[in-house]
Structure 1
Amino acid sequence: MEAVAKLNNYPTGPRKMRLLADVIRGMQVEKALAILEHHPQHNAVPLAKLLKSAISNWEQKNNGQSAADASLVVKTVFVDGGRVLKRMRPAPQGRGYRVRKRSNHVTIIVDSNN
C-alpha cells in the first residue's frame, strides 16, 4: 500500500529541485535519506523532511508497521512548477528588469517492495 507526501510552494526553482529528485527516485528509503542528509545542495533538507513525512504516512496507513521491516522504496518523485512571484529590479536608463522568483511543488510516493 503506497503513501503520499506533498510539499507546496517551496521557494526554489523547479530545475534545481529536480536534480535531487532524480537522485533518489527508485531508491530504498534508508539509502535515499542517507544521501539527502549528506548532500551539499540546500534543497536536500526539505526533501529529506518530506521523505520522512511520506514514511510516517505509510506507517500510519499500515497500522504502525515499521518501515524498516517492509523495505520501502521511493516509488515516484515529481517536481512541478509552483507560483511565480514577479518583482522588478532597477536597470540602467530608467528601465526595470523583471525578476521571476520561482517556486515548486514536490510529491513523493513511497511503497513497500513486496
Structure 2
Amino acid sequence: MVESMARVRQIRVTPQKARRVVNLIRGMRAVEAVAILKHQPQAVSEPLGKVVASAIANAQVIADRDGVFLDETDLYIAKAFVDEGITLKRFRPRAQGRAFRINKRTSHITVVLATPDEPSLGSRAGAKQKVSK
C-alpha cells in the first residue's frame, strides 16, 4: 500500500468555501478528482487540483523509492481536509470617522492519497460492496 501527502498553506480563500469543493472530491479516485476540479467554477478548484496532482507525483516518487509498481489510476483520496490559516485584518473607513474591520481569511489544504488494500475496489473508495449469497 502506497500513501502520499501534499499540502498547500496560506492560500487566500476562506476555509468555508474551500471545504465545499474538498467535500466534493473526498473518497474519489485521484485522476477523476483532477479532471473534475479542472471544470469547477470555484476559485479554490485550481490550487486544489494542483495539490492533488502534487500528491500523485509524491506517490510515484515514494513507489519508485520503495521499488513498488504504482498505477496512478489506483490512487484514491483517503483524506482531504481544510484547516484555517492566519487571518489578515484590514480596516475600511466608514461614516463619522469610524472604521470597520475586514477579515481576509486564509486556508491550509491537506490531501492524502492511498492505494486500496484490495485490487478492485469499484468507483468510490469508501463505497460498501454488496455480497451476494
Residues 56 and 72, structure 2, Cα contact 8 Å, conserved in 1 = no
The residue aligned with 2:110 is 107
Q: Give 1:79's aligned amino acid.
A: V
Query: 1:3 & 1:32 partners in 2: Cα distance?
Result: 16
Query: 1:44 & 1:13 partners in 2: Cα distance?
Result: 13
Question: CA separation of 1:108/1:9 partners in 2, compared to 1, >3 Å: closer, same or farther?
Answer: same
Give the total of aligned pairs: 113
- Partner-residue secondary structure (3-state), 1:35: helix
Q: Where does the alignment leave 5 or more consecutive residues of structure 2 unmatched? A: 118-133
- Point out the structure with max Rg over C-alpha: 2
Residues 10 and 105, structure 1, Cα contact 8 Å, conserved in 2 = yes
Q: CA RMSD in A?
A: 1.2
TM-score (norm 1): 0.94
Task: Return structure 1 stretches of 4+ with deviation > 4 angstroms.
Answer: none
TM-score (norm 2): 0.81
Residues 55 and 67, structure 1, Cα contact 8 Å, conserved in 2 = no
Query: 1:67 & 1:86 partners in 2: Cα distance?
Result: 45
Q: Does 1:81 align with 2:81?
A: no
Question: CA separation of 1:46/1:54 partners in 2, compared to 1, >3 Å: closer, same or farther?
Answer: same
